[in-house]
Structure formats: structure tokens, C-alpha cells
Structure 1
Amino acid sequence: MGQPPVTAVTGIGTLVTNDPELGEGTLGIRRDAAVVFAEGRVAWVGDSREAPAADHAIDLGGRALLPGFVESHSHPVFAGERAEEFAARMTGIPYSAGGIRTTIAATRAATDEQLAANVRRLREEALRAGSTTMECKTGYGQTTPDELRGLLIASGFSDEVTLLAAHVPPPEYAGRADEYVTMVIERMIPECAPHARWIDVFCERGAFDEDQSRAVLKAGIAHGLTPRVHGNQLTAGPGVRLAVELGAASVDHVTHTTPADIDALANGSTVATLLPGADFCTRNPYPNARALLDAGVTVALGADCNPGTCYTTNLPFCIALAVREMRMTPDEAVWSATAGGAAALRRNDIGRLTPGSRADAFALDAPSYLHLAYRPGVPLIREVWQDGRLAVTDTTPAMPVGTVHS
């Protein structure tokens, strides 16, 4: 494809850099700003009137520019859907981990082409909603060949690929979770590890207990993978403590926590990734984000796209939920969906707009990032840049913008 053109984005009403040294507050806000993208990176940040010459210039006419969202928790490698399960849950049937088995059957029966088409559809959907980075988990194959092909398919769409080897015990291992864990450790992880960056486990009632989860994660670590944990979604179980113990990059869901869990996170390096869309779709309580943030825990926000409990790729929706239902401030929610997601992936080149970072960004059809929570459900994202290339553009804006010229 060659190098993307040098692009100057000027006339930015509110620029979120996520660097306090470049602007106001934690978000590093600059007004009437400009950025220059060159060779897929941010080359310059400053006042709009001082923007250097570029191959292309885009005047945002006072609209906001933000770093691309970093979606650090998604399950796009699947087939089928579970709309009837969702409808039943809305009538009062509680969520349990067992519904995953429905998706396992559909995913195993799908062709590689069908799975890849679904990942492509969801990846493009997420990009249109501003997510320029999207972690992709397996976990709906649960045999070594199916998990391996899931990793290979996911690798075509993301550098952040996770082997969710222990999602739930598959049907053929019903009542024999220990045997499944042994198979995962002895066969699945050794064969699949070269094609993944992360190892994940669902440490929860109905899935895997603490000892089983620890064994899977340690096996992944021994094969060069970095741990992540699904934890404390349904109960105040051992997931958070296990994640901190093993130095996991993140523990995700964190819906039910004890003071000891919060203290462990505050004193460790593990990011708490909150997934309010899943709690919205299961009518579970929301995480106590306020307690986590006030304790100094690093918090990320994810969309958790999956067919059973949160079939959305839309992080703006999750930001609105976080502000309205979890009492996060708009600044905290935006930071958590950008720089927080980057922290959960142990990346310092994304989730920010600073010289040297990747040129991943999106422009809003609004003057400020506050509108992401202020106008829930409204499709405000106009342009999306990925690696300095204009990946998404809307030619019918609701408010006047400047011209694009070369």
C-alpha cells in the first residue's frame, strides 16, 4: 500500500491527547488545535494556526478529535446468534455461563470462510464506532484444531490475539472439567501458543475454579503468553486475586468485588477492565467503578462483543453507560476507553495522540468529547483514521465542516 500521505488535521475545537504535558487535565485537552500524521504516526501536535504544510489538510471546523478507542475485550470469532436466549433473559431467566455451549456448536460447524466473514463484519462495525484497535479472543471452538483455526482467523484482523482456551468445559467434557484442563495444558496450549499473544480463562461459577484457572494460566505463561482473566462477573470469586497474583495484564468484568479485591488491584499492575454493556444485557449489577477509581486502580472500558451476553461493538454506548450507571465522569470514561484500553493491552503507542504514537484517531460531529455521553445513541463519529489513513468517512455531516484539499 505504501506510506499514507502526510495529513494535517486542523481546526480541531477540542483535541484529546491523553498527555497532561500537552494540554489541560488528565485528557491533555487542547483547544483550536491541529495534528499532523506522517508515516502512520503522529508527527506534530500544536495550535491550529501553526500547523506545518502537509500533502493533505482537513479542517474540522471546530469539531472534536480523539484518539481511536482501544477495544481490549472482544469475542468476534464465532458463528450463529443467541437472540432467543437474550429474549428469555429479559423475561427474568438469569444468566449463567452454560449458554456458551450453544455458540461452541455453531462455531465448530462453521467454515473458515464463514468465521472470517463474521470477524470482518464486526471489525468494520467497531471501526465505524471509533475502535481502531480491537483485541480478538477465541474460546468458541474448545478443541485444539478449532482453537487453532480461530487464532489464525483472528490474526488476519488484529495483532492482539487471545487464546481463551478455558472458556467453559465443552459438552464432551461435561462433569469432567479437570480432564479438559489437562488436555488444554498438554495439547492445546503447546500447539496454539505460537499464534497468540495472550492466554485467558473464565474463572467463574459454571466455568473454571481457581485451581483450574491457575493451572491454565501458568501453562500459558510457560509457553510465552501473557495472562488475562475473566473474573468476578457473577460472584465475588477468586478471579481478581488470581489475576493480581499472576501479574495478569487485566482482569475483565470485575462486577462483584470485595475491599480486599480493590486493595489488591490498587497495589498491583493489573488493569480492571469494566464491561458495562454485558451488565446492561444481562441485567446484572454494574461494577463499582467509583470505588476502583478512588482507590487508584487503573480502569479500562471494553465493549465485550459476543453473541450471548453483549452483542455490541459500540464503545460510545459503553461510555454513556459508564457515566450514567457507574458514576464515572465523562473524562474518566473517555480515558478508560482509550488510554485505559491501551494499558490493558500493555501498549504505549495507542490510545493517545502524542508525537510518536500511532496515527489512530476519530473526529466527532460535535465540538467536544463530552457529547459521547451527553448524546447517547447518536452516531457522532464522522471520520476515523487508522495508521494515518482515512479508514471511515461520512460525507453527509449534520454540522458544517471545513473542506478537504491537497
Structure 2
Amino acid sequence: MTATLVTGIGELVTFDPAHSGPLGLVEDAAVLMVDGHIAWTGPASSAPNSDADAVIEVDGAAVIPGFVDSHTHLVFAGDRAAEFEARMAGQPYTAGGIRSTVAATRTATDDALRSRLAGFVAELRTQGTTTFEVKSGYGLTVADEERLLRLAREVTDETTFLGAHVVPDEFADDSDAYTDLVTGPMLDACAPYARWIDVFCETGAFTVEQARRILTAGAARGLGVRLHAAQLGPGDGVALAVELDAASVDHCTYLSDDDVERLAASDTVATLLPGVEFSTRHPYPSGRRLRDAGATIALASDCNPGSSFTSSMPFCIALAVRELGLTPAEALEAATRGGAAALRRDDVGHLRVGARADLVVLHAPTYVHLAYRPGVPLVARTLHA
């Protein structure tokens, strides 16, 4: 048994109802970690010092749970900086740019993809993310989707089969035939490496009817359901996600009142991805509207080369406070507990006793600085089990 005491914490966010307020705040705090799990939290003056094999002193810094990034696309090759530059000059965003990444990814070696993936994981850790999901979706052949998931599984258990990202060029005139491929041989090859299945349900990608076929086929193979929807315009994707008890429906930029009511009455998390709106100049979703209705919200980076090439959860928190209408406390909760709910995990996103010992030490006296000082590298240290 190995025990480590983190002490000298100026402000500790635990989300433990045994402590103060909705954030479970403790001032002048300490955390005891034993064998990779939280064993005790509370005032430093009451810490069980005799139980610790090692002590980490943080000198008054704030400590928060590690971020849970429940939506990323980290396995790819190529670059789309020119596409971003064109958007900033006024060209609208469409789903078609995904195909350029598919072309580059198909020609990349496993080692090249693995090396780039390792770089992104290092970025995540440096910025305080301790749990993250990774999707496939840049292969769109049976062999390529399988290898992207196999590589993703090397760095996380939260892997998502997204063969239904867009219809590849070779099936441009027959999207139903590609849907048959996704629900048949591609699913057979990819299911052993995936925990989840996802579909990009939008104009220019997959219809609601195609999404239903793909998601129900994945669920029949034991995969959990996720869905991209309501990013580019209104539609029936949110209703489908709630009907299928999806763990999350992601983007949620264009929601009807009925969509909001459905989400509030369900266990489906509304995952908001403000890095996308920053990078595409689409309207930001209203986190305030969802929060006030009682829906569960997650924040995620959607790190990908086309519409949101950021791996920074602190940046997403700052955007959520400035543009989505959330308070700093609500944004932090969405980036931790909300992300955990979107992955249907109860062992991460908080620092209650028994949770994974995933925590972040900030170069700041309070979590509020995550929004108050946008763009500043505030993560001093990331500890993860």
C-alpha cells in the first residue's frame, strides 16, 4: 500500500456533499491518496499525516478534480490550417473538410499516428485532463477504422467507433451502401476495440434514419450510444439520442424548446463544445438555457484538426463562462462531473472518497482563475492514477 498526502491546499474542490456548498469546497485543505484512490479529504489540520509515505506541499494553491474530456478526435494525420484561415476570412464551415483528413490519415503509418497521438495525450495531461475519450472516424474503411481504434485503445479505455463520421468519396452516390458497411463488416472489426458507438447526424453527413440503424446495431453489440447532433442546424438528432438512452448528445448548438425539455427529463447529457463555435463562427449554444431547465451539461474540447483544434479544457471553461452563460463554478462542474456523466463514470470527475486520485494543482488561489485568466497556463501539476 502506498499513501501520499497532498497538503497546503488553499482551496480544494471535491464535489463531496460532506463539504461546503455544491462544489464541496474545503479551505486550508489536504487530500490523502492511497493506491491511486482518494482515501480522505478535509482540513489540513485534521489530516492523517502518520498514514502518508510521501507528502506533496502545494503552498496555498487551489486543487480541483482532473478534467474529464468526453469528446475528442485525436488519431489523425494532416493539417487543415488553410481551411481555418479561409473560415476566418468568411468561408462557412461544412462537414466536407473531414474528407481531407481521411485522405491524409489513410496514408499515414501506425507509428506516425501513434507518435502524434502521444503528443496530444501529453498536451491533455499538461492542461489538467486526466480522463479522455477518443473517437475513430478518419479512416472510413474497415481496416483503417479498426487500426484507429486499436491505436486509441493504447491510451484510453474510452474509445468510440465513429465509422459514421461522413460518407467517404468512394460511397458518395450511395450513402445507404456505406451505412450497410458500417453496421456490418466495419462494426464487426471495430467492436472489440470500442466502448461506444457514435454518428455525425447532420446535413452533409448521416440522416436520422441512418443514425438509428447504426446506433441500434452498435447497441446490439454491447456498445454504449453517443451522438453528434444539432451542430449545423436544427433537426431530430436530439430526440433520437434521448429515445435510445444515449449517454450524451454532443454539440447541441441549435436546440428547440422540445429538445431542451427532452434532455432535462432524461439521463442523456448535453455535451457542449465551445471550441467549435470559436473556430467556426457558428452561434454558441446556450448553457444557461440547458442548466436552468435542469439538463446535465458536459464541456469537452472536441479536439480535432478541422473545427476545434484545441486540447485545452481551461480554454473551454473560459469560453463557457464568457459565451455560454455559465458561472465559473458551473463551467468547472461541466468539465469534471459533467464529463464523467457523459461517459457514465462515477469514479472520476470528483474527489470523494473512493474516486480515482486524479487531481490538478493550479498556479492560482481559486478555481475561478480558470475563467478569470484565459489563455494563461494555470496548471502547475497533474496527478492521475
* Same fold flag (TM > 0.5): yes
Distance in 2, matches of 1:155 and 1:202, equals 21
Report the equivalent of 1:201.
Answer: 199
| TM-score normalised by length of structure 1 | 0.93
Runs of 4+ aligned structure 1 residues displaced above 2 Å come to none
Report Cα offsets for 1:203-239 as digits up to 9, x if no partner: 0010001000100001100111011000000001111
1:288 correspondence with 2:286: yes
Displacement after TM superposition at 1:165 (Å): 1.4
Displacement after TM superposition at 1:59 (Å): 1.7
Q: Secondary structure at the match of 1:338?
A: helix
Matches within 5 A, 1:334-345: 334-345=332-343
Matches within 5 A, 1:255-274: 255-274=253-272
Report Cα offsets for 1:293-345 as digits up to 9, x if no partner: 00000000001100001111000000000000111000000000000000000
Q: Secondary structure at the match of 1:241?
A: helix
Displacement after TM superposition at 1:386 (Å): 0.8
Report Cα offsets for 1:353-392 as digits up to 9, x if no partner: 01100000010011100000000000010011011xxxxx
Contact in 2 for aligned 1:7/1:38 (Cα 8 Å): yes
Which residue of 6, 30, 49 corresponds with 2:45? Answer: 49
Q: Secondary structure at the match of 2:319?
A: helix
Report the equivalent of 2:35.
Answer: 39
Which residue of 21, 26, 33 corresponds with 1:30? Answer: 26
Q: Secondary structure at the match of 1:228?
A: strand
Report the equivalent of 2:168.
Answer: 170
Report the equivalent of 2:241.
Answer: 243
1:8 correspondence with 2:5: yes
| Farther-moved stretch of structure 1 (331-340 vs 57-66) | 57-66
Report the equivalent of 1:18.
Answer: 15
Distance in 2, matches of 1:22 and 1:105, equals 52
| Farther-moved stretch of structure 1 (108-117 vs 56-65) | 56-65
Contact in 2 for aligned 1:22/1:30 (Cα 8 Å): no
What code does the residue aligned with 2:364 have? A
Report Cα offsets for 1:92-147 as digits up to 9, x if no partner: 00000000000000000000001111111001101100000110100000001000
Report the equivalent of 1:192.
Answer: 190
Report the equivalent of 2:376.
Answer: 378
Unaligned runs of 5+ in 2: none
Distance in 1, matches of 2:336 and 2:357, equals 13
1:277 correspondence with 2:275: yes
Q: Secondary structure at the match of 1:46?
A: strand
1:161 correspondence with 2:159: yes
Report Cα offsets for 1:279-300 as digits up to 9, x if no partner: 1000000001111000000000
Distance in 2, matches of 1:6 and 1:24, equals 25
Report the RMSD for the aligned CA atoms in angstroms: 0.8
Displacement after TM superposition at 1:22 (Å): 2.5
Identity of matched residues, %: 55
1:69 correspondence with 2:101: no
| Farther-moved stretch of structure 1 (370-379 vs 185-194) | 185-194
Unaligned runs of 5+ in 1: 388-406
What code does the residue aligned with 2:192 have? P
| Farther-moved stretch of structure 1 (244-253 vs 49-58) | 49-58
Distance in 1, matches of 2:173 and 2:307, equals 24
Contact in 2 for aligned 1:22/1:29 (Cα 8 Å): no
Displacement after TM superposition at 1:260 (Å): 0.5
